[in-house]
């Protein structure tokens, strides 16, 4: 079986179209399907403002609509293209896909007609949006772990509202630990962030806040899971400058960056 794993597409359809897809039996995505340039700019601008003691800039309704449509349109384009070649399984990542009920509420409240990304995905053939579950696909066991905030990230990056964020991260981590106990004896782990200190160092390449540079943004929970259970492959993204491959014991960990890819064949 020929498996194609693709790193965070971020709406880069041009890059995706350069990937050799013919003959592929299965496509796996590490999340962040859509383009989120507008949202990313606001996020990092506000982090820099916080460091200067300034209040966050609030985006207006028009800007929020532009952000939503940028993510929606690019997400659907990527999935429609890939699903022509093989079944696609993807996690969400931190470029979020709104729940159907939330989109309906917004449409009703503001008398608009935003398209529901999740609803369109559910109607697609050959596409599975999966979260915190093991799928048996053609006899292959693949675990799909959704993005979460690890306590290790909070301690490394020390964000604003530290105590509140730390408490929430501890709650998320307890849930993730329970999920990963069900991920025994899998062949592949698809997750968003890399393991801690494995292809996860932040550089200046994407213009992050200066105090982020050189820090490790990976997950200690994912690292400990890999060390204990040793899946054959781990595919991740999130820290795009960390693109590459590194072994953790017998496990091959691939950070696939932005729309990077790896082809493997499993009998």
Q: What is the DSSP letter of 194?
A: P
Q: What confidence tier does 22 reach under pLDDT thresholds 50, 70, 90?
A: very high
pLDDT at 43: 79
pLDDT at 3: 98
| Mean residue pLDDT across the chain | 95
pLDDT at 221: 98
pLDDT at 137: 94
pLDDT at 50: 80
Mean pLDDT lowest for which of 30-44, 89-103, 195-209, 227-241? 30-44
User: For 53-117, what is the HEC assignment?
Assistant: CCCCCCCCHHHHHHHHHHHHHHHHHHHHHHCCCCCEEECCCCCCCCCHHHHHHHHHHHCCCCCCH
* Residue with the larger pLDDT of the pair 21 and 109: 21
Q: What confidence tier does 51 reach under pLDDT thresholds 50, 70, 90?
A: confident
pLDDT at 256: 98
CATH architecture classification, 2-265: 4-Layer Sandwich (3.60)
Mean pLDDT lowest for which of 58-62, 141-145, 201-205? 58-62
Q: What confidence tier does 9 reach under pLDDT thresholds 50, 70, 90?
A: very high
**Structure confidence by residue, pLDDT tens digits, 124-152:** 999 999 999 999 999 999 999 999 999 99
Mean pLDDT lowest for which of 49-53, 65-69, 159-163, 218-222? 49-53
pLDDT at 144: 98
What number is the average pLDDT over the span 61-76? 93
pLDDT at 46: 77
DSSP 123-151: H-TTEEE--SEEEEETTEEEEEE-----H
Query: What whole-number distance in Å separates Cα of residue 226 and Cα of residue 219?
Result: 11
Radius of gyration in angstroms for the set of CA atoms belonging to the chain, rounded to a whole number:
18
Burial environment of residue 62 by CB neighbours within 10 A (0 to 12, 13 to 18, 19 or more): exposed
């Amino acid at each position: 079986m020929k498996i194609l794993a693709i790193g965070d597409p971020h709406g880069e359809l041009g890059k995706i179209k350069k990937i050799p897809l013919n003959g592929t039996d299965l496509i796996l995505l590490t999340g962040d399907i859509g383009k989120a340039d507008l949202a990313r700019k606001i996020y990092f601008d506000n982090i820099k403002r916080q460091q200067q003691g300034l209040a966050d800039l609030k985006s207006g309704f028009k800007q929020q609509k532009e952000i939503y449509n940028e993510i929606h349109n690019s997400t659907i384009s990527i999935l429609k293209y890939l699903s022509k070649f093989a079944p696609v399984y993807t996690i969400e990542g931190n470029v979020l896909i709104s729940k159907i009920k939330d989109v309906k509420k917004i449409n009703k409240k503001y008398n608009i007609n935003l398209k529901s990304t999740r609803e369109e995905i559910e109607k697609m053939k050959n596409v599975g949006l999966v979260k915190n579950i093991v799928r048996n696909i053609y006899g292959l066991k693949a675990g799909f772990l959704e993005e979460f905030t690890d306590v290790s990230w909070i301690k490394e990056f020390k964000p604003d509202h530290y105590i509140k964020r730390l408490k929430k991260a501890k709650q998320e981590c307890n849930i993730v630990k329970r999920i990963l106990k069900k991920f025994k004896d899998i062949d592949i782990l698809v997750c968003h962030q890399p393991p801690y200190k494995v292809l996860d160092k932040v550089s200046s390449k994407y213009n992050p806040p200066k105090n982020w540079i050189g820090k490790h943004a990976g997950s200690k929970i994912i690292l400990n899971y890999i060390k204990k259970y040793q899946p054959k492959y781990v595919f991740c993204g999130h820290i795009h400058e960390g693109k590459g491959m590194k072994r953790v014991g017998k496990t091959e960990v691939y950070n696939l960056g932005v729309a990077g890819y790896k082809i493997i064949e499993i009998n």
